[in-house]
Amino acid sequence: MNEGYNFKNNISKHNVLIICLSIHHGNTMKIARVISKKLNANLKKPSEVKNDDLNDYDLIGFASGIYNGKHHADLFKLIKEFEMQKNKKAFIFSTASVKYIKMHTALKKELTAKGFDVIDEFMCRGFMNYSFIKYFFGGINKNRPNKKDLLRAEEFAADIKDKLSI
């Protein structure tokens, strides 16, 4: 970006990307679709994104379920491959069995180290049924994300649109 670049005046429906990895129950993808629709964003898996693709976007969302307290390893692997960015706007979202925003800390740190400006974060609960939880309880957070979660995701995206005048 050059010095005179005005981010707010140059966003169009074609330069928002969401990179989402949603594996087990599609929880994070449900949220990604809502946010993507509201932001008119392209939605891709990490395996579909190349370093050069970043040049086509002014705003990039990074999302996955939470695994052992942080986002999926494939997101971190992808970010390590990126060239240094110059204040490229980014946002983070996730679904997890427990809602605890500090689970975004590792990804936010990695993005910031690569020159991204993380402007916002969103998290909601998601259905989980692995390990003993499956056998004793049949899973936790059944029917999550739910309508309320999806509405909150839409409001989150609307807030981003307002912040950046998209």
**pLDDT tens readout for residues 9-31:** 444 444 999 999 977 656 889 99
pLDDT number for residue 25: 58
Is domain 12-164 classified as CATH 3.40.50.360?
yes
Alpha-carbon Rg of the chain, whole angstroms?
16
List the single range of 1-10, 61-70, 107-116 with lowest mean pLDDT. Answer: 1-10
Q: What does the DSSP 8-state code read for residue 126?
A: -
Report which of 103, 93, 104, 95 is spatially closest to residue 140, judged by C-alpha positions: 95
Q: Given a cut of 90, is residue 110 above it in pLDDT?
A: yes
pLDDT number for residue 13: 44
Per-residue pLDDT tens over the stretch 57-105: 999 999 988 777 777 789 999 999 999 999 899 999 998 755 555 778 9
pLDDT number for residue 133: 46
Query: What residue segments make up the domains of the chain, in order of their start?
Result: 12-164
**Residue 22 carries which side chain, given as an amino acid letter?**
S
Instruction: Judge residue 137's burial from the number of C-beta atoms within 10 Å of its C-beta, 0-12 exposed, 13-18 middle, 19 or more buried.
Output: exposed
Stretch 99-123: mean pLDDT: 88
Taking the C-alpha atoms of residue 146 and residue 133, their distance in angstroms, rounded to an integer, is: 20
Taking the C-alpha atoms of residue 19 and residue 34, their distance in angstroms, rounded to an integer, is: 14
Half-sphere exposure of 52 (CA within 13 A, CB side): 0
